[in-house]
Amino acid sequence: MTKWIERTYALSHKGATGLEKAVVLTILCNLSLMLPVSVSLLAVRELLNMIDGEAASVLPLTGIAIIVLALIWVLHYMQYPTLYINTYEESSDRRIRMAEHLRKLPLSFFSHRNLSDVTQAIVGDCAELDQMFSHYIPQTLATAVSTLVIAVMMACIDWRMALAALWVVPIAVLFPVIGKRLQDREGTANIKAKLATANHIQQTLETIREIRACNMEDKDASAFRLVTANQVRHEIRNELVSGIFVSAGFIVLKLGIASTVITGTTLLLDGRLSLLYFIGFMAAAVMVYNPIDNLLQNISATFSAKLRIKRVKAVIDSPVQEGSKCFTPQGHDITFDHVSFSYESGKSVLKDLSFTAKEGEVTALVGPSGGGKTTACRLAERFWDVDEGRILVDGVDISTVDPEVLLTHYSSVFQDVTLFNDTIMENIRLGRKGASDEDVIRAARAAQCDDFIKTLPDGYDTVLSENGASLSGGERQRISIARALLKEAPIILLDEATASLDVESESEVQKAISALTKDKTVLVIAHRLRTVINADHILVLANGRIEEEGPGRSLMEAGGRFAQMAALQSGLQSWTVRE
Q: What percentage of the chain has pLDDT greater than the value 70?
A: 92
Query: Is residue 377's pLDDT more than 50?
Result: yes
Q: Does residue 322 belong to any structural domain of this protein?
A: no
Q: How far apart are CA 116 and CA 476, in angstroms?
A: 25
What is the CATH classification number for the domain harbouring 372? Answer: 3.40.50.300
The verdict on 78 and 151 lying in the same domain is: yes
CA angle 284, 285, 289 (to 5 degrees): 120
Same domain for 282 and 367, yes or no, is: no
Q: Which residues contact 126 (CB under 8 A, 6 or more apart)?
A: 91, 94, 95, 98, 308, 312
- Per-residue pLDDT at 574 exceeds 60: no
Among 231-235, 239-243, 282-286, 434-438, the minimum mean pLDDT is found in: 282-286
Look at residues 262, 288, 316 and tell me which one is the last residue of a structural domain.
316
- Dump pLDDT digits (tens) for 331-373: 899 999 999 998 877 788 899 999 999 988 889 998 888 888 8
Q: Which of 82-86, 146-150, 312-316, 427-431 ranks highest by mean pLDDT?
A: 427-431
Same domain, 219 and 294: yes
Please check whether residues 310 and 360 belong to one and the same domain: no
Answer with the one of 316, 346, 371 that is the final residue of a domain: 316
Average of per-residue pLDDT across 31-36: 78
Averaged pLDDT for residues 244-260: 86
Gap between the Cα atoms of 343 and 142, Å rounded = 49
* pLDDT above 50 (res 121): yes
- The answer to whether residue 501 scores a pLDDT higher than 70 is no
- Inform me whether the pLDDT recorded for 288 exceeds 80: no
Mean pLDDT score across all residues of the chain: 83
Task: Provide the percentage of residues in the chain whose pLDDT is more than 90.
Answer: 10
For residues 139 and 12, membership in a common domain is answered with yes
pTM confidence score: 0.69
Q: Above 70 in pLDDT, residue 308?
A: yes
Residue 515 binned pLDDT confidence (cut-offs 50, 70, 90): low
Q: Is residue 325 part of a domain?
A: no
Total domains in the chain come to 2
pLDDT recorded at residue 334: 93
> What is the CATH classification number for the domain harbouring 229?
1.20.1560.10
Q: Decide if pLDDT at 293 tops 90.
A: no
Say yes or no: 35 and 165 in one domain: yes
Quote the pLDDT of residue 206. Answer: 76
Q: How many Å apart are CA 267 and CA 460, to the nearest integer?
A: 88
pLDDT tens-digit series, residues 225-243:
999 999 999 989 888 888 8
Q: With the C-alpha atoms ordered 162, 164, 167, 172, is the resulting torsion angle positive or negative? A: negative
pLDDT for res 579: 47
Q: Which domain holds residue 443?
A: 334-572
Q: Are residues 561 and 528 in the same domain?
A: yes
Q: Which of 420, 438, 316, 398 is nearest to 12 (CA)?
A: 316
Pairing of strands 388-393, 491-495: unpaired
